[in-house]
Structure 1
Amino acid sequence: MKRKYEDHFKEQAVRLSFERGEISSVERELGINRTSLGKWRKKYEHLKLAPKDAVIIELNKKIKDSLLTLEILKNGSEFAAQGKVMTKRFIENNSSKYPIGKMCALLQISQRAYYKLKKKEISDKQSQIILLKEEVAAVYYEFKKTYGYRKIAKVLQCRGFKVGESQIRIYMNALGLRRRAKSRFTITTDSVHNHYIAQNILNREFTINQPAKAWVSDITYIAAEKGFLYLTIVLDLFDRKIIGWSLADSMSTKETTLPAWEMAVKNRNITQDLIFHSDRGVQYANKIFTETLDSYKFVRRSMSRKQNHNDNAVSESFFGNLKRELINGNKPLPREQMRVQVYQYIENWYNKKRRHSYLNYRTIEEFDKLHCI
């Protein structure tokens, strides 16, 4: 029997065909044949869009297509950078959301290659490698691009992955992941003065088996949006913890070494002989700071040899890490924002979450729990 259509249905079908500018998709959707639709289009030709409306509809189509293109590139470029297998996974996972042909074209993989990869079964070993590469990249970005293959391997081992350092190094090279380089050493303190210079008692004995037995201290500058801030730290060699610090607008002793020392003695009691080691800077050698240290009967002063920053290498290493992980590559911030950033770095990152090679890649908190600190 010949199917009958109401006039309202015919009008809507014709209007839809004029809006789309073609009839094949309308025929499929509505289940009508080309001959019928052609007749209706002639009958209801008055429903045809005005040129102005047709232009608007076409522009809207282009805008919609551009937005779709941007969305696919934004979500899929990271997968495309990791090779065809990961690109295939993205297309497969998003086939209900985006057209497959469009994803293939934008992510530079032919549809033939996509379907070939889809048919090809991935072995369990290949799946594990893909998963591990994803985890390596996740840890790399989690720790601000500052971890090399050794530390990333330790993090993954702590999370239950059975991996080796050489394996992680291969994957990092394959993914193009490079650890940020350390900044070069810069002299900050002024060692040209007439104050008393202590002997180098510490003598580069940086491995200490008890807390509050040897502390090292140093000062560095940090560029702010306007001028500089000066960071003074006191570090316990036992667990590498920053137990005292000060961030000041000037290099005066009252704003640098004194407040850092006062914080250190509040955070960690001195119950035995303590070596306090620093460079020869005037902030450490002047009368005010010397008398402060001398008021503690268990404290012995130690200073680096002239122009030998390796005598205070642990402090310099901390500053190198701080500038690489927090400062380098970023624009100088206003002073108050920089103060917040430094506080977050020392108290919430370095002292709690960062893994230290000296502590066998444990965090300071994990190390202190093992030693009941």
Structure 2
Amino acid sequence: MSIPLLPETFAQIPRYKILYSNPSPIHPLASISPPRVSPHHPLITIHAKREDHSSPLACAGNKYRKLEYIVPDILSQTPLYHSHENNPTPPGPLQGAATTLVTEGAIQSNHTVQVVALARKLGLQALILLHRGTGGGLAAASNKEAFQRSGNVQINHLLGADVRVCEYGDPLARDATPLLDELREAGQNPYWIPGGASLHPLGGLGYARAAFEIAAQEEELGLGGSRRFDYIFVACGSGSTVGGLVAGFKLLEKIKGLDVSKTNGETRKLVGILNSPTKPREYHEKRVLAFARRAGELIGLDGERDIRVEDVRLDDRFVGTAYGVLDGESKQALETMARTEGMVLDPVYTTKVARGMMHWVNKGEVAGSDKPLEQVNVLFIHTGGQAALGAYADVI
């Protein structure tokens, strides 16, 4: 199956294939799809898009899709986007292709594993900074030593990464520029990839393309009712997965000639489930809107005019006690998905998304759409991350 042809402006952006040739699969979740309670209520179907089955590289997940659009710059003889975002005086283009990928994340970061696996695929070195102070997963672990050597940490070592741990208050946690300078002095050409790849100027493009992929799969599935997914639920962490999807779906609407302001809201409702209470929802909304507009400008939209504040829908009711902490309600969602669908989620992101999605479905929040439908189709995007489960053995 191929996705619809991208518009010329979008199609001409360089992309390095990391994903499988076929789209990541979408399959029904019949066991958690609720029965129709009466003819006056819509039939609700739930499907999952398996981004954790998207790539042959280690621990497949949503970051590979983002990295596809970053690799051409990494391999360029004059990469443009290699500096730390906090560096007030970027050194300009590298002379020669990058030799080392450098990135950061929490102790159990999925993103770092995918960057390291990519580095191995490209024949590059990889150095990762793991922040002990990010989130509450480490603080909540009863066996902190095990938490710091299992799960994604173990896989990073297996892949041969240079793993450096930032302690609380370490200046490198705020600005990695000194580390990049150190690598340059040692004769390397480091390429900085921000945590989650969201702050990278090209970070939203992968999920803008994913929107076209989902649209093609809707046609193939022959969904009833609206013949599309009316609600799409996905994790919102660093923000560019949601932002890219917003931009991609807005471009699809524009291509099809839809004016959402005149169609009584008959458009897909993309809901980003926040996974951390550290920042208020308003902070994340502004961040996602900025990412969506930045991606939109690159793929042929007018960011300010075509992407509006109301296009960003985030839900902060399921963040739990801290980022990376598996609270009781989230643990129940994790177990429900495993024991009813045989599907394993990750403890940081997709578990909270599943919890939020099931709340929306079971509390009637998807059934009360602007225009009543005979059938409401729900899509849950599984962004991967199951390797972190090993570090949570004391709570699962």
TM-score normalised by L of structure 1: 0.22
The higher radius of gyration belongs to 1
Specify which structure has the higher proportion of helix.
Answer: 1
